[in-house]
């Protein structure tokens, strides 16, 4: 099993997929999960792991629906028709599978680079010497 996005997006969006799962152009079996939870969500990755574990163990009403899509196998038609979706073949394959999963699961697209997400998580966990990601966005707007 490969989590092709390389991270979580709190049950609402799919991040861009990484190269590893798609470079071989092998058939895949797309599976995704939709959590039906109340107060505590398993993807609350902006709080410390110990606190999250305690919250999750205290909340007994977590339910998840697992959706299994038909096998997805890339072909030349896909690569030719959607060549504008990436420079390399794996990028086109990853785009097509992500697009199908977003449509099937009702997910949004999240194109934020993983390094920005990690920086935000560190900021939310109050790591020392981590500047606000919002200050960096404001300085980019002013430039």
In a domain? residue 31: yes
Using CA of residue 100, residue 102, residue 103, residue 105, what is the dihedral sign? positive
Query: 68: domain range?
Result: 13-111
In a domain? residue 125: no
In a domain? residue 4: no
Number of domains in the chain: 1
Query: What pLDDT is attached to residue 143?
Result: 47
In a domain? residue 20: yes
Instruction: Count the alpha carbons within 13 Å of 137 in the hemisphere toward its beta carbon.
Output: 7
Q: Contact 44/56 with Cβ under 8 angstroms? A: no
What is the pTM for the complete model shown? 0.73
In a domain? residue 58: yes
Work out the widest C-alpha separation in the chain, in whole angstroms: 51
What is the residue-level pLDDT of the chain in tens, covering all 143 positions?
A: 666 665 666 677 888 888 888 999 999 999 988 877 766 666 666 677 788 788 777 777 777 889 999 999 999 999 999 999 999 999 999 999 999 999 998 988 888 777 777 787 788 777 888 888 776 555 544 54
In a domain? residue 34: yes
Other residues' Cβ atoms within 10 Å of the Cβ of residue 59: 14
In a domain? residue 30: yes
Query: What pLDDT is attached to residue 45?
Result: 61
């Amino acid at each position: 099993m490969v989590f092709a996005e390389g991270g979580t997006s709190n049950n609402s969006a799919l991040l861009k997929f990484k190269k590893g799962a798609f470079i071989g152009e092998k058939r895949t079996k797309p599976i995704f999960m939709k959590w039906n939870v109340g107060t505590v969500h398993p993807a609350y990755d902006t709080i410390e792991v110990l606190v999250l574990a305690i919250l999750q163990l205290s909340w007994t009403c977590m339910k998840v629906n697992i959706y299994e899509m038909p096998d997805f196998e890339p072909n030349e038609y896909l690569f030719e028709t959607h060549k504008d979706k990436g420079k390399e073949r794996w990028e086109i394959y990853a785009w097509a599978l992500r697009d199908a999963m977003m449509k099937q699961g009702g997910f949004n697209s999240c194109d934020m680079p993983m390094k920005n997400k990690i920086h935000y998580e560190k900021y939310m966990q109050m790591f020392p010497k981590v500047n606000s990601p919002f200050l960096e966005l404001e300085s980019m707007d002013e430039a």
